[in-house]
Structure 1
Amino acid sequence: MNKKKKSVREAALDILELIDKQQSYSNLLLNQVIQKEKITGPDVGLLTELVYGTIQRKLTLDYYLQPFLRKQPDHWVLNLLRLSIYQMVYLDKIPDRAILFEAVEIAKKRGHKGISSFVNGILRQVQRQGVPSLNIIADPIERLSVETSHPLWLVQRWNKQFGWEKTKSMCEYNLLPPVQTARVNMLMTSMEEVISLLKEEGFDVQPSPIIPEGIRVLRGNIAHSKVYESGLISIQDESSMVVAYALELSPDLAVLDACAAPGGKTGHIAEKLKGTGKVVALDLHSHKVRLINENAARLQLQNIEANVMDSRNTSELLELESFDRVLVDAPCSGLGVLRRKPDIKYSKTIQDIAALSHVQLEILNESARLLKKNGLLIYSTCTVDMEENLETVNEFLRQQENFIPHYIHLPNSLTHLVDPKENKVQILPQDFGGDGFFIAAFKKKDQ
């Protein structure tokens, strides 16, 4: 006998529970559940909206629920209430009666009659009374924290680092769905051909105003396109594409990508070398190195060599001063990608940031030994934490007397973001809709 197929809301609740229990990333779990439960068509969009929306707005939803909860319910019940309130407040196409009916049915199936009555009672109260106003929160920083569902410590920290206007804009921007962007493989095709082929497949795309080889996807997921399968494009955020420009690449250079997986920047570097020279790409995990190799094969790039290696010990295995360029796209707190991975904002702590800075410095110092004299070392992260980024940069320069800051060359549309005094770039999500990113460049002196 076939087991009854789960409803979209049941599947969404399962994912929310797994994220909390396993600390797994929402994007990975979402794909797994879509395949396992054979969810198709418009239901994929609804499931994605329910999962991401509920996670994105978790602190706001808890604020809305607070006056109606006399006791803390079981965790799954709290997630079911969050999921239901999210639909009632933010999704105007779904009638309340459908939301309530489904929530009560799920509560009956998962719990007992008392729980289904409890869920029904809470949601009916919310329906009658409405949610509490955010305007009663007097402190503007606390209000912004609740309104945009960012932990208070993070909003306070950003306010200190970037000021109120930038912090407010960044928190609001982080709630918007990210635009899918891709990089055209200029070794195999042209921008015009890719846009034409994607339009034939039914996708709505346009050239990026930021990156010459970038495209923005207005409708559809091009990961499922023939154009992607045939290696004509790579899915990559525009901010991430900026990094290859900072490397000032020209043919026949030897480049080390010290923290390479999943290989987006590796492929971009190899393409910018026009298939010449070599890109040595490293990662600690063999399954991630396999991803880099698969990507290189799809893009038909012969100049990538991927190895399993700990970037903190590279000088024991690779020849010293053998690379013209070194990229350290360092492991970081990921606070620049909260639109794609909203669960990060609830799991990261100040202690995590301090620990990551230590690891970043280890990798930078080790990678510096592999760079030729007059070569460029690029440090990048997908975060927007000034302490994490600047302290690492300043400490590296203190420890490495034979390195000096180097001016960062970017596409013309982004030169205004370069801080000429500091030789660094901090991209915020609101700058052009990409991920938050930090880039610094160093040159090795010719002693």
Structure 2
Amino acid sequence: MKKTEKKNVRETVLELLEMIEKNQSYSNILLNHAINKNKINSKDIGLLTELTYGTLQRRMNLDYYLQPFLKNPKKIEGWVVHLLRLTLYQMIFLDKIPDHAALNEAVEIAKKRGHKGISSMVNGVLRNVQRQGVPSLEDIKDPIERLSIKTSHPLWLVKRWVEQFGFEETEKMCELNLTAPTQTARVNTIKATREHVLAMLEEEGIEAKPSPVIPEGIHFLRGNIANAQAFKEGLLTIQDESSMLAAYALGPEKNETILDACAAPGGKTTHIGEKLGNSGKVIALDLHEHKVKLISDNADRLGISNLDTRAMDSRKVQEVFDDESFDRILLDAPCSGLGVMRRKPDMKYTKKEEDLLHLQSVQTNLLKAVSPLLKKGGILVYSTCTVDKVENQEVVSAFLNEQIDFEGDRSIKERMPEAIQPLVDGFQLQILPQHIGSDGFYIACLRKKVQ
């Protein structure tokens, strides 16, 4: 029966690319759904992931290569453009798939989904690419525009980054954003040592190694973490290394009461709970009930018992909590997420420059809302998973100019793992993806004056 016919890998990728563009849904969520729905064979999951992310990652680059071969691109149906990009990605960037195999598969899909005219056009375009080769990127004279097309980052974004970090750092960041991120996890130090967990993983045939940066961090080289016994027993949790640094900056001490103001999905929250050794209390807030449940479920799996989770808007915390009722506060603010593009490549094409300014006002309001709840002498850590100064240094600078009872806390450096200390600048830390191969991340450590 045609309706229940199982889709092959490339047909599934094509469907995913359409859905991502149409619904502006995150690729990582849709990808997991597609694997389950289409019962993708475990040996094909790698190819499905590679083709989906690769085609998304290099979309602007692929469009530049296709441009000379398309007569009326605006008249071509969306799914056909996705099919051409997907096939060209295989022909240019994947060595293991022969051109003729990728090309024939594209023609078959075009026949199946369209009519003879479409399959002829797809065949003609791809054979012309094969014969003539793609245009050179060197034809783009402006170096910033060339970098934008070569690495498929919007021109407005590349310009911003060049202004903020210089051309060389921007180029490194854009290039790294095209690569798959290393999967990392944090050992639950309440229950186990890193050596013990690594030994357990090795016994199960999961290839992993200690992080060179974070004392409780692990890098996974091969194998599924979520299926590991150590994961099921709550001995580790999946978290990026940059994100692990927020708890280091906060520096929780035994029996303290700590607020995590924007806590979901709970990686930082549970890290704080661990650092407290299950003493004291961590109050974790998030706007959405289902996300709060994620934090609680994660804490239960890890055996962390000092959490109090609540669904609420952190801009209204003063209605619920008394002034000066927390020893430390973590505000991991909602942000553009420009530091996690490797994980969500579709983000590059949906973000707009004005989004950053809108987010800046949200971030500023959150800081103003939580700051009165901090005790005198207490520490407030502001963090984001973005790299843009509008959401980071500018927010913190404006806050310090307005709130005279706060100052930058330079003791952040001594709380950081040794490998990170050289990256600390006064009371701030801006990690770019190329620094330690992790997500882009910003941390500012502020202290409420005693007098």
TM-score norm. by structure 2 comes to 0.97
| 2: CA distance, partners of 1:87 / 1:104 | 14
2:446 is the alignment partner of 1:446: no
Which of 418, 436, 450 matches 1:412?
A: 418
Aligned-pair identity in percent equals: 60
2:183 is matched with 180
* CA positional deviation for 1:399: 2.1
Q: Superposition pairs for residues 121-270 of structure 1, below 5 Å?
A: 121-270=124-273
Q: Give 2:380's match in structure 1, choosing from 377, 399, 405.
A: 377
Q: What is the match of residue 14 of structure 1?
A: 15
Over residues 318-345 of structure 1, what are the superposed CA-to-partner deviations in whole Å (9 max), with x where a residue is unaligned?
Answer: 2221110100000001110111111111
In 2: Cα distance, 1:227 partner to 1:18 partner: 35
Q: How big is the shift at 1:240?
A: 0.4
| Distance in 2, Cα, partners of 1:236 & 1:319 | 32
Q: Which amino acid aligns with 1:50?
A: L
Q: Distance in 2 between matches of 1:165 and 1:101?
A: 40
SS across alignment from 1:413: coil
Letter in 2 for 1:48: T
Residue deviations 1:87-112 (CA, integer Å, cap 9, x gap): 00011111112111111111122211
Partner secondary structure for residue 70 of structure 1: coil
Correspondence for 1:48: 49
* 1:185 partner amino acid: N
Q: Distance in 1 between matches of 2:28 and 2:204?
A: 25
Residue in structure 1 matched with residue 404 of structure 2 by the alignment: 401
CA distance in 2, matches of 1:404, 1:242: 20
Secondary structure of the structure 2 residue equivalent to 1:138: coil
Output the TM-score relative to the length of structure 1.
Answer: 0.98
Instruction: Tell me if the contact between 2:340 and 2:386 (Cα under 8 Å) persists in the aligned partners.
Output: yes
- Residue number among 89, 103, 111 corresponding to 1:108 in the alignment: 111
Number of residues paired by the alignment? 445
* CA distance, structure 2, for counterparts of residue 271 and residue 227 of structure 1: 16
- In the TM superposition, what are the counterparts of 1:358-369 in structure 2 within 5 Å? 358-369=361-372
Alpha-carbon separation, structure 1, partners of 2:27 and 2:224: 17
Aligned mates of 1:60, 1:229 — CA distance in 2: 41
Residue 433 of structure 2, aligned match among 426, 429, 436: 429
Specify the SS of the correspondent of 1:146: helix
Q: What is aligned with 1:70?
A: 71
Residue 304 of structure 2 aligns to a residue whose secondary structure is coil
User: How many Å separate the matches in 2 of 1:200 and 1:87?
Assistant: 36
> Distance in 1 between the 2:43 and 2:6 partners?
16
Find the aligned partners of 1:155 and 1:27 in 2 and give their Cα distance: 24
Stretches of structure 1 that go unaligned for 5 or more consecutive residues are: none
Separation in 1, partners of 2:446, 2:115: 62
In 2, distance between residues paired with 1:8 and 1:114?
Answer: 24
For 1:79, the equivalent position in structure 2 comes to 82
What displacement does 1:366 show? 0.5
Q: Is the 8 A contact 2:252 2:275 kept in 1?
A: yes
Quote the offset at 1:379 in angstroms.
0.2
Unaligned runs of 5+ in 2: none
8 Å Cα contact 2:265/2:291 also seen in 1? yes
Deviation, structure 1 residue 250: 1.2
Over residues 404-437 of structure 1, what are the superposed CA-to-partner deviations in whole Å (9 max), with x where a residue is unaligned?
A: 11112311111100112xx211000000101000
1:336 and 1:301 map into 2 onto residues whose CA distance is 29
Counterpart residue identity of residue 38, structure 1: K
Query: Which amino acid counterpart does residue 68 of structure 1 have in structure 2?
Result: F
Return the alpha-carbon distance in structure 2 between the equivalents of residues 30 and 224 of structure 1. Answer: 18
Q: Name whichever of 215-224 and 294-303 sits farther off.
A: 215-224
User: 1:99 is matched with which residue?
Assistant: 102
Instruction: Please report how far the alpha carbon of residue 118 of structure 1 lies from its aligned counterpart in structure 2 after TM superposition.
Output: 0.9
Give deviations 1:208-240, integer Å, cap 9, x for gaps. Answer: 110000011111231221211111001000000
Deviations for 1:25-68, whole angstroms, at most 9, x for unmatched residues?
Answer: 10000000001111122210000000000000001000000000
Moved more, 55-64 or 404-413: 404-413
Cα distance in structure 2, aligned partners of 1:318 and 1:86? 54
For 1:18-33, list aligned pairs within 5 A.
18-33=19-34
d(CA) in 1 for partners of 2:103 and 2:92?
13
**Structure 2 equivalent of residue 287 of structure 1:** 290
Runs ≥4 in structure 1, deviation > 4 angstroms?
A: none
Amino acid at match of 1:399: E
SS of 1:313's partner is helix
Q: Deviations over 1:292-351 (max 9, x none)?
A: 010010001100111000011011012221110100000001110111111111111110
Contact 2:315 2:365 in 1 (8 A): yes
Q: Give distance in 1, aligned partners of 2:78 and 2:9.
A: 19
The partner residue of 2:304 within 289, 296, 301 is 301
Aligned AA (2:166): G
Counterpart of 1:191, as a letter, is R
Opposite residue 425 of structure 1, the aligned amino acid is: L
